[in-house]
Structure 1
Amino acid sequence: MKGRHIPTLLAALLLTVGCSDDSEVFYSISYPVVRIDAAVTLPEPEPEPNPEEPSTGEDSGTDTSEGGTTEGGTTEGDATEGGATEEPEPVDPLVAQIQAEVAAEALVQPGGGYTLDFTRYNRGPLTVDTATENGTVDGVFFKEPGATQINLFFLGQTYACTLSSYTDTDGKNKVLLTVDLTALYQERYPSANIQKVQRLEYTSTPTN
């Protein structure tokens, strides 16, 4: 999968900094990736028309409207023993396909991760364990102090990762890296009217 290319001038600047910067590393942080998922937003389907119920003629004394009772006083939806079981909502085939593509095409797979070495207040060299046949590769990163976005440049591509958090199964808050892939998938599926596609990279890095 091709990533979003950063402007040529910025790419040249980052590469120059990465190649020539032999300054002492004063701060490092790693983001091991443990899981990859995708959030896909498609348009809401048009509601199906609700035809009027046919008249039954004489009033039988039984309320057949939604949420009413059937003969014998049983609430609709609870006619089976133990109440009705809600069926899980079916997954849209396109959503499932996009989610599979996002996970398969991610340059960094679970088991890999990113290591950022700050040699300047807002940038430095980047080491990426891709956990793929590409192995471990070098790059550079750019992050303004206090910003929630990191620009990662490696393998000739860049990803603007937004930093947020999620609650892991151990109850602790950990770093979530989100990459916006909307433009890529809108181009890939032009007739699907895709609203948003995001790659979610769950890491084991605590937020504090």
Structure 2
Amino acid sequence: MKHTVITALLLAALPLANGCSDNSEVFYSISYPIVRIEAQVTVTESEPTPEEPSTGEGTETGGNDGTGSGTGTDGTETGTGGTGTGTGSGSGSDTGTGEGEGTEEPVDPLVAQIQAEVLAEAPVQVGGRYVLDFTRYNRGPLTVDTASEAGTVQGAFFKEPGASEINLFFLEDNYACTISSYRDTDGKYKVLLTVDLTEIYQQRYPSAGLTKVVRQEYTSTPSN
């Protein structure tokens, strides 16, 4: 059902995305400048042998610019005559500054590879932005500064009033961003856009045991 709805929205967006003008008056615009991008990856770990303790939750952080900071924690379980499964998760971030310091716990090579791919393949890099011009109550033309070689491109978007998702269509990309908020270092709450990439990466890495892959785009737009 969801696929059918998204397909219908895409077909309706094609005139805008292909450059056909919408002569309607823009009555509301909002901009989402991207200041940081993070990739979160969660995998199911293999079962340990009876002689080994099972692994609990593990979290890892790192930057795709070669620097960054991170911490890791492991939980253990003990028992008699049993085995267990656990999950490991990691998050990589790109602030676009090339700066960072701290110590890092070892990151699973596959998790690190997927994090790097998510960050590198983000259609809008740090320093770019989405600009939504509402010419209808739930849609309008989209201008995207990709902060990459693609430059600034045109597209379309759909957002139902009060909904927590925006559907974006530009270049060859079409995806839904879940809107939430985060508390910035200045203490103010700002908009966070999250894109679920789990199915894409499960198909790309079918034997990796991926349970969650998301891209989080932190913006400087105040959250209402």
Q: CA deviation digits over 1:47-80, x for unaligned, max 9?
A: 55358xxxxxxxxxxxxxxxxxxxxxxxxxxxxx
Return the alpha-carbon distance in structure 2 between the equivalents of residues 205 and 28 of structure 1.
12
- For residue 9 of structure 1, report the CA deviation from its aligned partner: 4.0
Return the alpha-carbon distance in structure 2 between the equivalents of residues 8 and 179 of structure 1.
18
2:27 is matched with 26
2:162 is matched with 146
After TM superposition, list the pairs within 5 Å mapping 1:43-122 onto structure 2. 43-47=44-48, 49-50=50-51, 89-122=105-138
Return the alpha-carbon distance in structure 2 between the equivalents of residues 89 and 202 of structure 1.
24
Determine what percentage of the aligned residue pairs are the same residue: 71
Q: Is 2:9 aligned against 1:10?
A: yes
Return the alpha-carbon distance in structure 2 between the equivalents of residues 202 and 146 of structure 1.
20
Contact 2:41 2:212 in 1 (8 A): yes
Return the alpha-carbon distance in structure 1 between the equivalents of residues 143 and 104 of structure 2.
42
Return the alpha-carbon distance in structure 2 between the equivalents of residues 159 and 7 of structure 1.
9
| SS class of match (1:22) | coil
- For residue 167 of structure 1, report the CA deviation from its aligned partner: 1.1
Structure 1 range deviating more: 38-47 or 12-21: 12-21
- For residue 27 of structure 1, report the CA deviation from its aligned partner: 0.5
2:215 is matched with 199
Listed as ranges, the gaps of 5+ residues in structure 2 are 53-102
Cα distance change, pair 88–14 in 1 and its aligned pair in 2 (3 A): closer
Return the alpha-carbon distance in structure 2 between the equivalents of residues 198 and 113 of structure 1.
19
| SS class of match (1:190) | coil
1:42 is matched with 43
Q: Which amino acid aligns with 2:126?
A: P
Contact 2:45 2:209 in 1 (8 A): no
Q: CA deviation digits over 1:135-172, x for unaligned, max 9?
A: 00000000000000000000022010000111111111
Structure 1 range deviating more: 9-18 or 125-134: 9-18
| SS class of match (1:191) | coil
Q: Is 2:150 aligned against 1:134?
A: yes
Q: TM-score, normalised by structure 1?
A: 0.75
Return the alpha-carbon distance in structure 2 between the equivalents of residues 35 and 167 of structure 1.
13
Return the alpha-carbon distance in structure 1 between the equivalents of residues 172 and 51 of structure 2.
54
- For residue 10 of structure 1, report the CA deviation from its aligned partner: 2.8
Larger radius of gyration: 1
| CA RMSD after TM alignment | 2.1
The one of the two structures with greater contact order (alpha-carbon pairs below 8 A, sep at least 6) is 1
Cα distance change, pair 131–17 in 1 and its aligned pair in 2 (3 A): closer
Return the alpha-carbon distance in structure 1 between the equivalents of residues 161 and 112 of structure 2.
37
| SS class of match (1:170) | coil
Q: Which amino acid aligns with 1:14?
A: A
1:176 is matched with 192
Return the alpha-carbon distance in structure 1 between the equivalents of residues 46 and 104 of structure 2.
17
